[in-house]
Amino acid sequence: MISYAEILPQLFDTLKPFTKENFRLKEQTELVAELGLDSLQVMQVLLKIEDHFDISIPLNNLPKIRTVKDLGEEIEKLLKG
């Protein structure tokens, strides 16, 4: 079973291509407000995550995911489920 601590660096790697050069991703980084992801980029991020972790993130959980941490915890929960 993969833990949140192990998920986090993988998540940073996934998000890296969507950030500006030299931007330091943190757990508290806000995906939309800070990274400026538009709705299609959000879908690309989710696709990468779903394929990487082989999970399916329910649509209704998206409104609750604000930060990198929220996303990591959601992945952890789905992997456990």
Partner 1 sequence: MNATPTQHQLRLKHGNFSTLSEALDYAASGETGCNFYSGRGKLTHVLTYAGLQQQAQNLARRLNGLELARGARVALIADTTPDFIRFFFACQYAGLVPVPLPISLHLGGHQAYVTQLKRLLDSCQASIAMAPEGFLPFLEEAAAEMDLVLIGGPETFASLEETPDPLSPLEPEELAYIQYTSGSTRWPRGVEVTQSAVMTNLSGIIQHGLQVQPGDRCVSWLPFYHDMGLVGFVLGPIASQLSVDYLSTRDFAMRPRQWLELMTKSRATISFSPSFGYELCVRRLGEDFNEQYDLSSWRIAGAGAETIRADSLSRFAKTLKASGFKPEAFLACYGMAECSLAVSFAPLNKGLEVDKVDGDQLSNNRLAMPFVQFSTDEYQPRCSKFVNCGVPLPGYEVQIRNMNGEVLDERESGVIFVRGASTMTGYFNDPIMTEEVLSPDGWLNTGDIGYWVKNSLVIIGRSKDMIIINGRNIWPQDLEFMAEQQAEVRPGDSSAFSVSSPDGHEIAIMVVQCREMDSQKREDLVQRLRSLVHKELSIPCYIELIPPRTLPRTSSGKLSRSRAKADFLTRIQWEEVTPMLSTTARSA
Query: Which 35-74 positions form the footprint of partner 1 (CB under 8 A)?
Result: 35-40, 42-44, 46-47, 50, 56, 58-66, 70
Does residue number 34 form part of the binding site for partner 1 (CB under 8 A)?
yes
Does residue number 1 form part of the binding site for partner 1 (CB under 8 A)?
no
State the virtual CA torsion across 76, 62, 32, 67 in degrees, nearest 10: -30
Give the C-alpha separation, 48 to 54, whole Å: 9
Does residue number 31 form part of the binding site for partner 1 (CB under 8 A)?
yes
Give the C-alpha separation, 62 to 74, whole Å: 10
Binding site for partner 1 (CB under 8 A): 19-20, 23, 30-40, 42-44, 46-47, 50, 56, 58-66, 70
